[in-house]
Amino acid sequence: MPLRTCGAFPDGAWVVRNQMHRRRTFIFVLLACALATRPTEAAAPANNVTLAPADTAGGYVARLLINEVPFPGERGWVSEEDSMAAQAAILWVLRNRLRHIPPGYTQRQVAAVTTWDVMDLLTAGGVHGQVEGFYRDASGRPALSDHVQERINHLAVIAGRGVPGRFARLMNHAQELADDFVANAPGDRFAALREIDRVPVTGSAYGWMTDREIFRPGGNFVRIGDQWRGGLGGNRFFTLRRLR
């Protein structure tokens, strides 16, 4: 995956990855019996899951949180609590990229865009940009790739069967977190970090990738280790090297 060099950085070796993360390969054995045809909107039967419309900030962010964490049966699945914690950590990456750029950096260097709008943040760079599968269509409306929409639809179908269980709870929790993100600020688990492996850091997370050693954003991103629980929901979170 290509890296874009940012010459304006104080550190000439600094690079920003065009993508905030890399999609995992989904191994989802429970989907074998899912519907062969897909609806155009991810609405679950039986009212077990309620998602805001995808063209709203809350609905779009909720779909990001659903798509970015493992569900039961998928690679990276640990527990319901682990996936929910990953959803909350992802929100802090978004919040930090929108509101808390550390001294010595510009928002464009960290997030590849200058904006106060979460929709702009998620869709920067198009379908293969900052967040794979999240982009604006030809009319400028927020959209999802077929792959992302299909996965959310399948999860909604499973979540809608019978008594609400883990699938429904994870999806509804994503919507609750997204609504809270739009209106308020949850606690940042990585805010107090000041040094990692003798490297001074800014604290807070500014990126995430699938938690495998081959995936690293490079540049001034610093991996948050397991001692700070930097691996959540199959993802690895990264803070930034402190420049000042």
177-221 pLDDT, tens digit per residue, is: 999 998 875 567 788 788 999 999 998 999 999 998 888 888 999
Q: What is the mean pLDDT of residues 87-93?
A: 95
* Full-model pTM: 0.67
As a whole number of angstroms, the distance between CA 159 and CA 80 comes to 14
pLDDT in tens, 57-84: 999 999 999 999 999 999 999 999 999 9
Nearest C-alpha neighbor of 236 from the set 116, 107, 69: 69
Q: Please say whether the beta carbons of 83 and 69 come within 8 A.
A: yes
Run of H or E including 135: strand 134-136
Q: Which residue has the tokens 């200058």?
A: 114
> Looking at residue 185, what is its pLDDT?
57
pLDDT in tens, 216-235: 888 999 999 998 889 999 99
> Looking at residue 39, what is its pLDDT?
43
pLDDT value at 33 more than 90? no
Pairing of strands 231-232, 134-136: unpaired
pLDDT value at 25 more than 50? no
